[in-house]
Amino acid sequence: MGYLIVIGIVVRVRPAAGPAAARATAGQRWAALVNVWPVVPVFFVVMGGIYSGAFTPTEGAGIGAVGMFLIAVFHGGMRWRGFLDTLLETAQTSAMIFLILLGAGRWV
């Protein structure tokens, strides 16, 4: 949040630091909205499930992850190689987090 304030101040002081982009037309805005429509049902399922008490936030995260994975597969955005790369990166990130936790733990 703080960096947005800094960007706002810099651009107000030096307008050339952040030149204005061309405004998007209404057609471009609708096209962008149509491209993200599959995310909306997943959002409502996860948030509705959490607030209704059907599942916990952790379970909701799992349901949302599975939902977005299925959308990626069916829309052609997830191939086998991308799936394997995702698994590898997830394992590496989890290992780093666990190493940080192990190093921060008290060994008595």
pLDDT tens track of the chain, all 108 residues? 688 899 889 988 998 888 888 888 999 989 888 888 889 999 999 999 999 999 999 999 999 999 999 998 888 788 889 889 989 999 999 999 999 988 887 665
Tokens of 60: 């909701």
Instruction: Give the count of beta carbons closer than 10 Å to the beta carbon of residue 21.
Output: 6
pLDDT, position 91: 96
Q: Which two tokens stand for residue 81?
A: 């190689």
Note the pLDDT of residue 3: 85
CA-nearest of 84, 83, 52 to 70 is 83
What pTM did the predictor assign?
Answer: 0.61
Q: Among residues 79, 77, 45, which one has the least CA distance to residue 62?
A: 45
pLDDT value of position 1:
67
Angle, helices 57-74 vs 39-52, to 10°: value is: 160
Question: What value, to the nearest 5°, has the Cα angle with vertex 45 and ends 39 and 1?
Answer: 60
